[in-house]
Structure 1
Amino acid sequence: MTKVEVINKKDFTKTQEEVLERFMEFQMAMIEKDSVRLDEIMSESYTLTHMSGKTQTKQEYIDEIMDGTLNYYKSIIDNPQITILEETKAILKADVTLDAKVYGMKGTWTLHSVQSMEKIDNKWYMSKWEN
């Protein structure tokens, strides 16, 4: 079984498919604790807002993944809805269920996620994740 799954997927355009694949790549980099890949996928201005309301910068988020504060084991992306706003901006909305250990608590959480993405030099980058 794969560590990143998509369920209830719709028929997407080529551009929407690119956005979804990039988000899946991001999820896999979180699970694999691949700091180089995370750095490549996230824009420099990236922010993540946790369920608790805590907001982190790109580097703060990567640091907590790498030091074991945030541990991700599996991701299920349910019913992704992708809106292309312009040629260079996209919004991915989905219920993302993460099997994780975060801040010492092990569990499975479903996040009602809104992921903003931007296309730079023909590649999609994560710019903001809100839960």
Structure 2
Amino acid sequence: MIDLKQDAIEMYRKHNKYMVDADIEQLGSLLDDEFHLVHMTGMVQSKQKWLSEIQSGQMHYFSSTEEHVTITELTDNQAILVGQSQVDASIHGSRNTWPLQLILHLSMIDGHWMIMHIDASMY
């Protein structure tokens, strides 16, 4: 039996690990083709644009220290996860540690969670 809640939390943790590792292949495999990321500035990026900025080093994530993660909605095929982490990153040349809250919107596709979009903000 699949534990949907635990699988969703593991998805968040893998996302953070691959982001810090700059492993765009693994990170990309977690993201739906129509994925988009809404940054805390309001900027919206497509999957391809975000991954290319990680690959080029324009967005470099040094560490992500999880503080809190919860599932706010869960069905057999949809989940919303709210994760809060301290993220040390250099974004377009500006390095800081941000208290970053990510709201992951997940859909179950072919038996596994896919990240459809993420809304980022500070907490």
After TM superposition, the score normalised by the length of structure 2 is 0.90
One-letter code aligned to 1:97 = Q
- 2:71 aligns with 82
Determine the C-alpha separation between the residues in 2 that align with 1:114 and 1:22: 12
- 2:18 aligns with 29
Shift of 1:84: 4.1
Unaligned runs of 5+ in 1: 1-12
Shift of 1:31: 1.1
Assess if the C-alpha contact under 8 Å between 2:12 and 2:83 holds in 1.
no
- 1:14 aligns with 3
The superposition leaves residues 73-111 of structure 1 with CA deviations (integer Å, 9 ceiling, x where unpaired) of 111222211134321110001222211111101110012
Assess if the C-alpha contact under 8 Å between 2:5 and 2:74 holds in 1.
no
CA RMSD across the alignment: 1.5
- 1:5 aligns with none
Partner residue of 1:47 out of 27, 36, 55:
36
Determine the C-alpha separation between the residues in 1 that align with 2:57 and 2:98: 18
How many residues are matched?
119
Residues 71-80 or 43-52, more deviating: 71-80
